[in-house]
Amino acid sequence: MLNQFSSEHRDLHSSVSRVGKSVDKNFISDYVCVGNENLFDQEENALALNKVIVEHFLRQGRSDIAESLIKEGKLDVNKRDKTPYIKMNKILEALKNHDLEPAMEWAKEHRTDLLRHNSSLEFKLHRLQFIELLRGGIDNQMTLINYSRAHFTTFASKYASEIQTLMGSLIYLRSGISASPYAYLLDQTNWTEICNMFTKEACALLEVSVESPLSVTFNAGCIALPALINIKQAIQQRHVTGVWTSRDELPIEIDVTRKCHYHSIFACPILRQQSSDNNPPMRLTCGHVISRDALNKLTNGSKLKCPYCPVEQNPSDARLIVF
């Protein structure tokens, strides 16, 4: 019986192994045709990738993994660059455990910057603390009144309506908030919203995106890969050459959704081409912007006539624009 079981196990393992190798082989042959195999052979690119991975793990609160990668990859990552992410994740962990104190201290410390961004984070934190006190019922009546006097006065002019709603809920302390018109205040989604709001504001002050670059790149790649594979296969089957010769430019436009858009994309109004490193946007002296290729095509000796104004100017006076 044992020998039969072992034989069946070996057969099953062998079958699964063959399927796995087939999947690996087919998958690799599919995607390798649209990738740049030599991209990370350059030390500079490999270093940039490792730093992006380190930042991703720091954002996720996995500083242990990030530190291991920094050590093994011999990366030069300044402690000043790591500390904000570590602090942010400690505050997020506290919020997930329904502890508002660390976030309140952070908001108070960065009050000037938050006000400059027109942020409501600090008020929302105090609002949520007030709501948590509401759960204590009539026993917390004086605590709630004192808390509102201590913390809502600063926000009275800007958030008068919300503060009035919070104070109106005190009428139902004795009978119970959960059975009152203010029951919606106790919704647990408040905690999810405050976590998202804190993450957004913290990232804004760090001048980084909410999503890590690694996640955005991976998601964009997953969206674009099927279309790229189909295009490459069509090109190969029809023996069309010269359609896709550059690794930095795609032969067609691929919609990767708005979530993956993080910068302005300039398309030359003359040649109807998207700008690239080799064909960047150029600002003319009259203020109009065209691509470098269009600039070269419109240049006649040392003169250039703007296709819009039209003002005559020297093409050497055009300046490179970086979005």
pLDDT in tens, 67-109: 888 888 888 888 787 888 889 999 999 999 999 999 999 999 9
pTM of the entire predicted model:
0.67
> Which two three-digit tokens encode residue 85?
């992410």
Q: Please list the rounded mean pLDDT of every run of 10 residues in the chain (323 residues).
A: 54 58 52 68 84 88 87 83 88 94 95 92 96 93 94 92 94 91 93 94 88 85 81 73 60 74 76 84 91 90 86 89 79
pLDDT score of 98: 95
Q: What is the pLDDT of residue 254?
A: 76
Compute how many other C-beta atoms are within 10 angstroms of the C-beta atom of residue 110. Answer: 18
Q: How far apart are CA 125 and CA 1, in angstroms?
A: 65
CA distances from 197 to 90, 185, 202 (A): 15, 17, 9
Superfamily in which the 263-323 domain is placed by CATH: Zinc/RING finger domain, C3HC4 (zinc finger) (3.30.40.10)
Q: Supply the pLDDT for residue 255.
A: 78
In 119-250, where do the E strands start and end? none
pLDDT at 2: 45
Q: Are 286 and 306 in contact (CB under 8 A)?
A: yes
What is the DSSP secondary structure assignment for residue 78, as one 8-state letter? Answer: -
- Say what the pLDDT of residue 163 is: 94
pLDDT of residue 96: 93
Count Cβ atoms below 10 Å from residue 314 Cβ, excluding itself: 12
Question: CA distances (Å), 321 to each of 75, 269, 295, in order?
Answer: 32, 15, 13
- First-to-last alpha carbon distance for the chain, in angstroms, is 72
Specify the domain boundaries for CATH 3.30.40.10 within the chain. 263-323
Quick one: pLDDT at residue 277? 81
Q: Quote the pLDDT of residue 113.
A: 92
